[in-house]
Amino acid sequence: MKFEVKTQKDDLSKSSISLFLSFSLLSIIIILANFSIKLGIISRHYEINYLCKCLIIERSSINFKKLSKITKLSSKQKMIDLCREIIK
């Protein structure tokens, strides 16, 4: 008759692998979230730059509304000053 004795090496190995996988998954999620936030900031910057160029060329109310929504500025003069500073 043979008796098998289970050791704790298998349990330790499985728990360390699951801990490593969960840590890796959490790290990937954090990196992707950070990446998406940075892309949002870059996109917003280029959109403000584009709208300022459009506003300098043609001062239409649509451009003012879009720029006001992005920058949260209410005064047209402040938006024009911002655009002049960005275009420089």
Mean pLDDT of the chain: 86
- Whether residue 63 contacts residue 25, with contact meaning beta carbons closer than 8 Å, is answered with no
Q: Kindly tell me if the per-residue pLDDT of 45 is higher than 80.
A: yes
Residue 37: its pLDDT value, please? Answer: 97
Model confidence over 46-64: pLDDT tens digits? 999 999 988 888 888 888 8
Residue 28: its pLDDT value, please? Answer: 98
Q: What is the dihedral of CA 64, 67, 73, 78, to 10 degrees?
A: -60
Name the pLDDT band for 35 (thresholds 50, 70, 90). very high
* 69 half-sphere exposure, CB direction, 13 A CA radius: 7
Which residue has better confidence, 75 or 29?
Answer: 29
